[in-house]
Structure 1
Amino acid sequence: MGCAARSGRHRRDGHVPRTCPSRDVLRAVDDVSKKAGGGKPGKRAGPPGGRTPDAGELTETGTVESAAPMKNKDYRRELKPLHAELVAMQEWVKASGAKVCIVFEGRDTAGKGGVIKAITERVSPRVFRVVALPAPTDREKSQMYVQRYMPHLPAAGEVVIFDRSWYNRAGIERVLGLCTEDQARQFLQIIPTVERAIVESGVILLKYWLEVGQDQQTLRLQSRIDDPRKIWKLSRMDLESYSHWFDYSRARDEMFRFTDTGWAPWYVALNDDKRRGRLNVISHLLSQVPYEPLEHHDVSLPEQQSAEGYRPPTQPLHWIPTPF
């Protein structure tokens, strides 16, 4: 099954987002990496890997184009109307009782958290709920693998965003040997049926893979090491998985082969340029949810209450310092 866009609503300004890149793009990513040299191969790595083209350089045909990183002022200008559209989508979800589930996957440092933050920046956490589950407990390990994710699926009027998901089994768990090959293959075989059941229950299910190049991953990991504001993002697993680039590529490709279905396709977002990547994902997301803006009545503020003898408190208040 391909990545053809499902029927949905495009932005009111007439912008029609591109459909996701073909798998030729993903092959081009790894092919260029193989030819460049300088990477760290994994336990089953192929030819030495090197630089993957920047996200903005890859087109849907797999060719390379130059693209300067987007400036912050341009990013903010483009993001503002998208945020307004997300608010309109939120109101429609609440009013219609729609159920939206968004899955974000990708290599370490692919920018999943940044995309999610951009999506949720101007919407209500009572409607948009982010799920980032920790490592499973001993009890959860004894359950059916996807069982611990099921309670977090959206109810009517909710948008649930998974920052990593049940696809951990097809990716990081498989690459780092945290599950057996039999367990990984069993997962790949059954998950399309599980997702069909989710979709048939009325959930709008969107799955995004954020693609990042080797050089960019190296820069981002080094930034986590060097920047005290980012050190919390660095985990032992990040360092362990860093050397398994082509193992992840193989796992990703097989995951797509088994789970890219007509009812739950994978959409691939090039994200070496984080700002462009965030805009592209939000734009595409809006095109996949068939929301319509609700009618708003004119609103004016009521008159404020008069003081009616109110006096400020006489007891001292503990004001915080004002160094800024």
Structure 2
Amino acid sequence: MGLRKAAYEAELLRLQTELIKLQEWVRVKGARLVIVFEGRDAAGKGGTIKRVTEHLNPRVARIAALPKPTERERTQWYFQRYVQHLPAAGEIVLFDRSWYNRAGVEHVMGFCTPAEHQLFLRQCPVFERMLVEDGILLRKYWFSVSDAVQEERFRRRTQDPLRRWKLSPMDLESLTRWEAYSRAKDEMLVHTDTADATWYVVESDDKRSARLNMIAHLLSSVAYEDMDLPQITLPPRPPSTGYERPPKELQTVVPDHAATLRKE
């Protein structure tokens, strides 16, 4: 039985309030936080990212969701295009998929050579160790979904006009390559689940539980403090100097669509 909606929403609000405190700690202390979201298609990464960032300041917390590399980027060192998206002091970056594309979709779909894949597995732990040694707080989450739940989510997307855009040809291909992706994930974990950059697995068949579990773990893994922020006092509104608003007839006003609903 899944988590009741009322209990879920109450705990989510509490955790999101704590995320605001984490954000302010990062901003004031000049910390740098990187959160990597990985997992199979339809594993719930996007929904979790949405809940994490829902109330955060986009100037502090931003999402990096990179498109496929350009021809120029294909000739660069593999990690190079990800480096430019890393945070500066006082910033949080959430990678909606990351450099681990090479360990997953690129490897399984043949978008990289076996040699490039093996080079990635050797270089990735070194790359991440450099990030951590430089002071970046790195958190990596793998969202684990069962084959039955993934297929059911895909099926619902085919029937939902608001979600159908999420169903790409690559998603459909992943259904027929379940075991190949499983082997790729296992090999990735063997090489990149290190003391410097641990992989945290989030069981995500139940989306609500997955979101709460991931956020609660993130908060527990960072030794943030509640910052003493200055009190905000609204200034008094100054007396009128005689300004009058121009007639609305001189402006192009959006039609009152909501009024048609009120009549019904």
What TM-score comes out, normalization by structure 2 length? 0.94
Superposition deviation, residue 290 in structure 1: 1.6
Superposition deviation, residue 168 in structure 1: 0.5
Q: 2:4 and 2:162 mapped to 1: Cα distance?
A: 22
Unaligned runs of 5+ residues in structure 2 are 259-264
Aligned residue number for residue 224 of structure 1: 157
**Which structure 2 residues correspond to residues 113-192 of structure 1 after superposition, within 5 A?**
113-192=46-125
Superposition deviation, residue 253 in structure 1: 0.8
RMSD: 1.2
Q: 2:81 and 2:232 mapped to 1: Cα distance?
A: 44
Match 2:214 to one of 281, 290, 304:
281
Please give the secondary structure, in 2, of the residue aligned with 1:264. Answer: coil
Q: 1:293 and 1:313 mapped to 2: Cα distance?
A: 47
Unaligned runs of 5+ residues in structure 1 are 1-67
Structure 1 contact 102–207 (Cα < 8 Å) conserved? yes
Match 2:243 to one of 277, 298, 310:
310
Moved more, 147-156 or 173-182: 173-182
Paired amino acid for 2:256: T
1:255 equivalent to 2:188? Answer yes
The runs of at least 4 consecutive aligned structure 1 residues that moved more than 3 Å come to: 296-300
Q: 1:108 and 1:246 mapped to 2: Cα distance?
A: 14
**Which structure 2 residues correspond to residues 88-103 of structure 1 after superposition, within 5 A?**
88-103=21-36
Paired amino acid for 2:141: Y
Superposition deviation, residue 297 in structure 1: 4.1
1:320 equivalent to 2:254? Answer yes
Q: 1:204 and 1:73 mapped to 2: Cα distance?
A: 33
Superposition deviation, residue 74 in structure 1: 1.9
Q: 1:195 and 1:298 mapped to 2: Cα distance?
A: 39
1:107 equivalent to 2:49? Answer no
Aligned residue number for residue 268 of structure 1: 201
Structure 1 contact 176–241 (Cα < 8 Å) conserved? no
Match 2:179 to one of 241, 246, 249:
246
- Equivalent pairs counted in the alignment come to 257
Paired amino acid for 1:128: A
Please give the secondary structure, in 2, of the residue aligned with 1:302. Answer: coil
Bigger proportion of residues as helix: 2
Paired amino acid for 1:105: E
Paired amino acid for 1:318: T
